[in-house]
């Protein structure tokens, strides 16, 4: 089918080009279909497979059938360079994805997101200097968004891995604003040049400014806000890819990118809703706005011994575990599953109450518990588990704090007032596993710890759970 020129209704094209466009249509359908299947537990794995198949299809047909404006196919030598590069990347990608521990999943998601972002930025950078490029604005936008997604994801990775601390000076707000204004100004300046390609130095400055903005925008955002940031960065990478799609007028890229952008935005909104905060508020950072001290904080907390706790658990009918980031830090997911099996063996019903923003990325707790083989029908969403609180004998809070803080319901002065929480205090007994009396991320007291029906079990979550397992075993 080499260069058979066909004319239909006055449009000239080769059969190869027609097949290529058709394969892009198929790839786009596979992306949508895959994403649809991914949203149901029973079909999710198939969905992932079909989306991957769409990607492979688009890659193969592009190598085989893509022609430049002069109608030349990709030469064999170039094809070999591409294939070797893809092969190297695949091996590295596969190795990383197989080797990384499930507890490091948020870091990994951030890293992969960063690679997608930088790829978009590099393509934008190169295409800008391409004289045949007629869509300079989208090229610049792709460069900017891709760069922000890249450097932002790298910082998010550093934070999740504990390599980067929180730096949130008040002045940062203004610095961010200035850089953002500079990015917009530079873009407009470049676009209004008679020959934009002549000011390539400006484009490099723009690239650097966008990278800096990504760093500074994620830097002040605290750990508990990470689920919002990660899904936001995810959506940015999609948008960057879509911009690049416009350069090539490639519908598969446009649709794939926008699909991811839209999905990421939805997830971002879900996360901000789960924290009762606006996106702006998360980005500007900090729990601002009238964080006055809560009135009836303090009081006396009561501890519980491991043996009392195990007796309490073993003779309950219904136990609910509320995991938080502390579970991930202590890597206690296997131990908690062990306790769950042991209790179930004694006829106790055990469920997990999962708050949507528990952990450091959307769905973090689910992945963690799934790794430990906890069946997913035991993972109950917040609204559902709240309906069962009154009939729950014991609720165990493992390494969570703000997501079970009753101030969110009944204390209008509290900084987290209005955030939906798991109503742990309504259960008959509450056992809180904590390392000490430190405050949660929001830095506020949790009146739950001082309730009459609450007992504290201090220590590392994994050790405490292990002791409970040993003790329940002897009963």
Of 430, 379, 376, 428, the residue nearest 404 (C-alpha):
430
What is the per-residue burial (b if ≥16 Cβ within 10 Å, else e) of 445-469? bbbbbbbebbbbbebbbbebbbbbb
Taking the least distance from each CB to another protein, the nearer of 218 and 255 is 255
Taking the least distance from each CB to another protein, the nearer of 118 and 319 is 118
DSSP labels, 186-202: HHHHHHTSSSGGGGHHH
Task: State yes or no: is 402 an active-site residue.
Answer: yes
| C-beta separation of 251 from 245 below 8 A | yes
Minimum distance between the CB of residue 296 and another protein, rounded to whole angstroms? 32
Minimum distance between the CB of residue 165 and another protein, rounded to whole angstroms? 25
Report the relative pairing of strands 11-14 and 5-8 from DSSP bridges.
Answer: antiparallel
Helices 15-38 & 251-274 angle (0-180, nearest 10): 20
Length of the chain: 475
| C-beta separation of 418 from 272 below 8 A | no
Minimum distance between the CB of residue 72 and another protein, rounded to whole angstroms? 7
| Residue with tokens 């466009």, as numbered in its chain | 21
Taking the least distance from each CB to another protein, the nearer of 39 and 166 is 39
Please give the helix or strand (H or E) that residue 381 lies within, else none.
Answer: strand 379-381
Please give the helix or strand (H or E) that residue 67 lies within, else none.
Answer: none
Report how far residue 139's alpha carbon sits from residue 118's, in angstroms, rounded to the nearest whole number: 14
Minimum distance between the CB of residue 244 and another protein, rounded to whole angstroms? 5
Minimum distance between the CB of residue 189 and another protein, rounded to whole angstroms? 21
Minimum distance between the CB of residue 351 and another protein, rounded to whole angstroms? 13
How far, in Å, are 121, 182, 200 from residue 193 at the CA level? 21, 17, 11
Taking the least distance from each CB to another protein, the nearer of 200 and 278 is 200
| Residue with tokens 């800096």, as numbered in its chain | 212
Number of CB atoms found within 10 A of residue 89's CB: 11
Choosing from 68, 296, 373, 402, the catalytic residue is: 402
- Give the pair of three-digit tokens for residue 334: 């296997």
Radius of gyration of the chain (CA): 26
Taking the least distance from each CB to another protein, the nearer of 33 and 458 is 33
| C-beta separation of 325 from 425 below 8 A | no
| C-beta separation of 203 from 142 below 8 A | no
Minimum distance between the CB of residue 451 and another protein, rounded to whole angstroms? 27
Taking the least distance from each CB to another protein, the nearer of 132 and 289 is 132
Taking the least distance from each CB to another protein, the nearer of 4 and 86 is 86
Report the relative pairing of strands 429-434 and 394-398 from DSSP bridges.
Answer: parallel
As annotated, the active-site residues are 402
């Amino acid at each position: 089918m080499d260069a058979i020129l066909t004319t239909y209704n006055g449009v000239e094209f080769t059969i190869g080009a027609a097949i290529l466009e058709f394969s892009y249509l198929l790839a786009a359908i596979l992306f949508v279909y895959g994403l649809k299947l991914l949203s149901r537990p029973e079909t999710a794995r198939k969905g992932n497979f079909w989306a991957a198949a769409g990607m492979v299809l688009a890659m193969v047909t592009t190598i085989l059938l893509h022609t430049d404006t002069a109608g030349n196919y990709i030469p064999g030598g170039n094809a070999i360079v591409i294939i070797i590069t893809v092969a190297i990347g695949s091996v590295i990608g596969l190795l990383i994805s197989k080797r990384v521990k499930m507890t490091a999943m948020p870091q990994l998601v951030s890293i992969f997101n960063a690679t997608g972002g930088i790829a978009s930025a590099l393509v934008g950078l190169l295409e800008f200097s391409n004289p045949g490029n007629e869509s300079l604005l989208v090229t610049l936008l792709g460069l900017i968004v891709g760069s922000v997604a890249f450097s932002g994801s790298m910082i998010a990775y550093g934070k999740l891995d504990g390599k980067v601390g929180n730096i949130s000076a008040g002045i940062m707000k203004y610095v961010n604003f200035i850089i953002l204004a500079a990015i917009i100004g530079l873009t407009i300046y470049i676009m209004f040049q008679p020959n934009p390609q002549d000011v390539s130095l400006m484009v490099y400055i723009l690239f650097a400014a966008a990278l800096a903005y990504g760093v500074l925008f994620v830097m002040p955002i605290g750990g508990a806000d990470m689920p919002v940031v990660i899904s936001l960065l995810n959506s940015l990478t999609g948008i960057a890819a879509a911009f690049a799609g416009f350069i090539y007028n490639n519908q598969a890229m446009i649709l794939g990118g926008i699909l991811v952008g839209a999905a990421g935005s939805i997830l971002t909104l879900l996360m901000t809703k789960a924290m009762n905060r606006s996106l702006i508020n998360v980005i500007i950072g900090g729990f601002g706005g009238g964080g006055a001290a809560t009135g009836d904080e303090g009081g006396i907390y009561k501890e519980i011994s491991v043996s009392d706790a195990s007796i309490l658990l073993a003779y309950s009918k219904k136990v609910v575990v509320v995991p938080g980031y502390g579970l991930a830090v202590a890597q206690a997911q296997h131990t908690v599953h062990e306790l769950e099996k042991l209790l179930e063996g004694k006829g106790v019903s055990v469920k997990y109450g999962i708050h949507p923003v528990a952990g450091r990325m959307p769905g973090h707790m689910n992945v963690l518990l799934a790794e430990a083989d906890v069946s997913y029908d035991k993972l109950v969403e917040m609204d559902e588990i709240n309906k069962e609180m009154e009939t729950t004998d014991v609720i165990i809070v493992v390494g969570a704090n703000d997501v079970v803080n009753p101030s969110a319901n009944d204390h209008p002065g509290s900084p987290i007032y209005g955030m939906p929480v798991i109503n742990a205090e309504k259960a008959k007994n509450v056992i809180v596993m904590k390392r000490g009396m430190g405050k949660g991320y929001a830095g506020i007291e949790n009146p739950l710890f001082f309730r009459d029906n609450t007992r504290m079990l201090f220590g590392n979550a994994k050790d405490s759970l292990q002791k409970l397992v040993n003790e329940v075993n002897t009963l």
